[in-house]
């Protein structure tokens, strides 16, 4: 799970810098930077604040942050089949350009 990637993608799709998101959420810019780089895991509370600020459902962050290594091998074939469409829907919900997120692949 790469929730930091998902937060960065949602933030940039809204045209916000880390500083601007920090000001709007009350979460320090340093913390946002650490979360986005994967150096720090966000708390449930921080995720909620970020989602409220960006006006997106928390589930969208979890979808965008999902990686193929998060899926058990027994479900991998189904994941590979369904996930591109699910991710596409999530991208449409946050309103960013598809190519920015879809081309990342399922690292």
The Cα–Cα gap between 3 and 1 comes to: 6
For the domain covering 3-102, report its CATH number: 1.10.260.40
Residue 92: predicted pLDDT: 83
Is 102 a residue whose pLDDT tops 50? no
Is 100 a residue whose pLDDT tops 60? no
Question: What distances in angstroms separate CA 60 from CA 29, 54, 73, 87, 89, one per listed residue?
Answer: 22, 11, 23, 9, 9
pTM of the entire structure? 0.80
Each residue of 58-93: pLDDT tens digit?
999 999 999 889 999 999 999 999 999 998 888 888
Each residue of 18-39: pLDDT tens digit?
999 999 999 999 999 999 999 9
Domain ranges of the chain: 3-102
User: What's the DSSP call for residue 14?
Assistant: T
């Amino acid at each position: 799970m790469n929730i930091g990637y998902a937060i960065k993608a949602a933030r940039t799709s809204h045209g916000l810098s880390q500083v601007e998101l920090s000001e709007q959420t009350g979460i320090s810019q340093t913390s946002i930077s650490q979360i986005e780089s994967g150096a720090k895991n966000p708390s449930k509370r921080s995720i909620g604040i970020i989602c409220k600020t960006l006006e997106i459902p928390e589930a969208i962050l979890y979808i965008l942050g999902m990686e193929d290594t998060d899926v058990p091998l027994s479900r991998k074939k189904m994941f590979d089949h369904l996930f591109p469409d699910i991710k596409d829907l999530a991208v449409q919900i946050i309103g960013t350009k598809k190519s920015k997120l879809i081309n990342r692949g399922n690292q």
